[in-house]
Amino acid sequence: MAAMLVAAGVQRAYCRGGADLSRMHEVLRHVKGMRCIGMQHGESAAFAALGEAMLTGLPAVCCGSCGGGNMQMLNALYEAGQSSVPLLALAPQLPVSAMGSGGARSCHPEYALRDAAAYCETIYSPQQAPRVLGEAMRRARAVPAAAAVVLPADVAAMPAEYDRRAGTAPTGATPAVAEPAQVDVARLAELINRSDKVVFLCGRGCAGARDLLVELARRIGAPIAYTLRGKEFMERDNPCAVGMIGLLGWGDAPAAVQVADLLVMWGTDFPYDCFLPQHGRVVQVDSSAAALGRRVALIHAVHGDVARTAALLLPLVKSGRGDEFLTRSLMRHGRAVSAMEGVLRTVDERAPIRPEYLTRLLSSYAEPDAVFAVDVGLPIIWVARYLQAFGQRRIVGALNYGTTGCALPIAIGAKAAAPSRQVIALCQGSSPGCGAAELLTLQKERLSVKVLVYNRAATAAAQSIQGGGELPPPAIDFIACAAALGLQVQRLTQVADAPAAVRRWLSARGPAVLDVALDAYARPEPPQSDLQRALEHTGNPMSEQLRRELALIRCMLYGGSYPG
């Protein structure tokens, strides 16, 4: 099995140490061309593999442990499926002879794994192993999503038997480009040429198509809005960009999307339909046929690669139309950005550190091709609004399934896959302890990951004392953990020290931790105001369903502390 993985191009495996896969661990540690990275927790091992796959686009391998250790991988497997990332999970199982006996750690991991993985099978004999492993690798790449292989302990200990008729696991072949139908592209051009207010909404599928889409938008005077997953591709040097929509949206994007008489969704399966127009004049372009029409009613759909579709569309659209709509949107966007960045213009050195100011400092000093692994929660709010995605920067995290405390494990996988790039983990101070445990992995593997802790534990404590919220979650003292392991640590509490501290932390050799005590009362502006302002443009009153959805959004972001 290890030989098949190496032949398929897998270079690293992230394993939760233990006796369950000790034989596999030993093989992976000594096989030529494979590096086995020992993680402290099963969930962390899976998220580290996910981080590598997010960065490379190729399947990475994680190994669990029998019983609960396999269940710990589920969050990452769900994220892989929802983010379309290839991942292979090896799940150890009790010996076949002990199955069904009700003994210790007795369970059927394949039942749970099949819900999270696109493919899951149990190997009952050495002859079966090549076929199952090969199919798992093929399915993980083809979907792409997670695939799982369950391996009983006694079967794992048997001598290998390889049947050449079983085929091989796929190598790193370049994915095929989905060619759109000419008639669909011509229909899209006709719709654009007949519309006065065209808006583009761009997502993760626009990777590699930025220049074509910007040229197309400039030719027809279309504002470009983007999703959180599209930020890293569409924000850079984009003269038509008007911000981001969604729960973390900002700028004129929410309003522009609502008032458009034709919205073209490029490479996005944007899930929050309350932010999408309901007038029915929406076109979607996507390489996945399953995504077309999933979120909103369409008047036309194009099944094809975004870059290829945009290239075919360029000569068909009429140029020379006025750009009044784009100009007005850009003016509103400029005012919105100016208001959002007002907190950055005046920095009181006697006041607590604002998270907006800290994130903009990080954006200024980080390298142009830095990789940011972001925790779900407050860090992603500030990153979405104040981290500039220029250059070749990547923003990765559990942004779809929404698992908290996974920024550090994802950063470990990204750094292992790209040792020459700057990798920064943006962690929430109240993240679960399994993330903090991976500080030991940084020290053992000598991975130069920079860890930034958004420490707002005082916020939750203050709200609890004032009766404005629930009891605060237990905060993880990253500084104490890191110092005990011999890592470089800093604690930042004063605004005046922030620029020098951030530069010193980023330039440190080896792994380093910066714990920042943030303003206990700093809160992001709720997206509801932008959405409601956008709906006013339509002249239609908000429905009761939409009001409930907005209330749910506020509750998700602010709990019970937002007065609303």
pLDDT tens digits along 457-488: 644 444 444 444 444 555 567 788 888 888 99
* pLDDT at residue 95 is higher than 50: yes
By DSSP bridging, strand 282-286 and strand 224-226 are: unpaired
Percent of the chain at pLDDT > 70 equals 83
Q: Which structure tokens are listed for 1?
A: 């099995």
Class of domain 2-166: alpha beta
φ, ψ of residue 182 to 5 degrees: the values are -60, -40
pLDDT tens digits along 133-165: 999 999 999 899 999 999 998 888 888 876 666
**pLDDT score for 285:** 97
* Nearest-angstrom CA–CA distance, 135 and 485: 41
Mean per-residue pLDDT of the chain? 85
Is residue 470 within 8 Å of residue 559, measured between CB atoms?
yes
Q: What angle do CA 479, 504, 344 make, to 5 degrees?
A: 90
At a CB cut-off of 8 Å and minimum separation 6, what does 429 contact? 453, 454, 455, 456, 457, 475, 476, 478, 515
**pLDDT score for 175:** 73
| Type of residue numbered 466 | Q
Q: Bigger pLDDT: 368 or 476?
A: 368
* pLDDT at residue 322 is higher than 50: yes
Q: Which structure tokens are listed for 55?
A: 């960065």
> Considering the domain 350-517 in this protein, what is its CATH number?
3.40.50.970
**pLDDT score for 550:** 66
Is residue 253 within 8 Å of residue 227, measured between CB atoms?
no
Q: Which structure tokens are listed for 343?
A: 């907190």
**pLDDT score for 316:** 96
**pLDDT score for 362:** 97
By DSSP bridging, strand 146-152 and strand 224-226 are: unpaired
Where are the strands (E) in 45-182, listed by range?
Answer: 60-63, 87-93, 119-122, 146-152
Helices (H), 347-428: 355-365, 378-386, 407-417
Among the residue ranges 135-139, 171-175, 499-503, the one predicted with the least confidence is 171-175
Where are the strands (E) in 227-353, listed by range?
Answer: 241-244, 250-251, 262-266, 282-286, 300-303
By DSSP bridging, strand 224-226 and strand 198-202 are: parallel
**pLDDT classification of 99: cutoffs 50, 70, 90:** confident
Sheet of 423-428, strand order: 394-396, 371-374, 423-428, 449-455, 512-517, 488-492
Q: Rounded to 10 degrees, what is the CA torsion of 522, 528, 531, 534?
A: -90
Cα-Cα-Cα-Cα dihedral sign, residues 508, 509, 515, 519: positive
* pLDDT at residue 119 is higher than 70: yes
Q: Please report how the helices 109-116 and 74-83 are oriented relative to each other, as an axis angle in degrees rounded to 10.
A: 30
φ, ψ of residue 62 to 5 degrees: the values are -130, 150
Q: How confident is the model over 530-537, as a mean pLDDT?
A: 49
**pLDDT score for 1:** 86
Q: Where in the chain is the domain with CATH 3.40.50.970?
A: 2-166, 350-517
Three-class HEC string of 409-478: HHHHHHHHHCCCCCEEEEEECCCCHHHHHCHHHHHHHCCCEEEEEEECHHHHHHHHHCCCCCCCCCCCCH
Q: How confident is the model over 524-536, as a mean pLDDT?
A: 52
**pLDDT classification of 562: cutoffs 50, 70, 90:** very low
**pLDDT score for 60:** 93
φ, ψ of residue 241 to 5 degrees: the values are -70, 135
Closest CA to 202 of 161, 257, 158, 154: 257
* pLDDT at residue 286 is higher than 80: yes
**pLDDT score for 169:** 67
* pLDDT at residue 122 is higher than 50: yes
* pLDDT at residue 541 is higher than 80: no
* pLDDT at residue 203 is higher than 60: yes
**pLDDT score for 300:** 96
Q: How confident is the model over 486-510, as a mean pLDDT?
A: 94
Closest CA to 335 of 446, 237, 255: 255
**pLDDT score for 165:** 66
**pLDDT score for 68:** 83
Q: Bigger pLDDT: 18 or 299?
A: 299
**pLDDT score for 116:** 95
* pLDDT at residue 219 is higher than 70: yes
**pLDDT score for 27:** 74
Is residue 307 within 8 Å of residue 208, measured between CB atoms?
yes
* pLDDT at residue 180 is higher than 90: yes
Q: Bigger pLDDT: 278 or 406?
A: 406
Q: Bigger pLDDT: 153 or 167?
A: 153
* pLDDT at residue 338 is higher than 70: yes
**pLDDT score for 472:** 52
* pLDDT at residue 298 is higher than 60: yes
182-338 is a CATH 3.40.50.1220 domain: yes
**pLDDT score for 299:** 96
φ, ψ of residue 476 to 5 degrees: the values are -95, 125
Is residue 63 within 8 Å of residue 45, measured between CB atoms?
yes
Q: What angle do CA 522, 526, 528 make, to 5 degrees?
A: 170
In this structure, what DSSP letter does residue 234 have?
H
Helix, strand, coil abundance in the chain, percent, nearest 5:
45, 15, 40
Is residue 111 within 8 Å of residue 93, measured between CB atoms?
no
Q: How confident is the model over 1-12, as a mean pLDDT?
A: 88
Q: Bigger pLDDT: 515 or 27?
A: 515
**pLDDT score for 560:** 42
Q: How confident is the model over 380-390, as a mean pLDDT?
A: 91
Q: What Rg value do the Cα atoms of the chain yield, rounded?
A: 25
Is residue 537 within 8 Å of residue 259, measured between CB atoms?
yes
* Nearest-angstrom CA–CA distance, 15 and 19: 11
Q: 474: buried, middle or exposed (CB in 10 Å: 19+, 13-18, 0-12)?
A: exposed
* pLDDT at residue 386 is higher than 60: yes
**pLDDT score for 147:** 97
Helix (H) or strand (E) holding 22: helix 22-30
**pLDDT score for 467:** 45
Among the residue ranges 43-57, 417-431, 458-472, 505-519, the one predicted with the least confidence is 458-472
Indicate left, alpha or beta for 352 from its phi (over 0: left) and psi (-120 to 50: alpha): beta
Q: How confident is the model over 388-402, as a mean pLDDT?
A: 91
Q: How confident is the model over 99-105, as a mean pLDDT?
A: 70
**pLDDT score for 488:** 92
* pLDDT at residue 528 is higher than 50: no
- Considering only the C-alpha atoms of the chain, give the largest distance between any 2 of them, rounded to a whole number of Å: 75
* pLDDT at residue 44 is higher than 80: yes
Helix (H) or strand (E) holding 395: strand 394-396
Is residue 266 within 8 Å of residue 213, measured between CB atoms?
yes
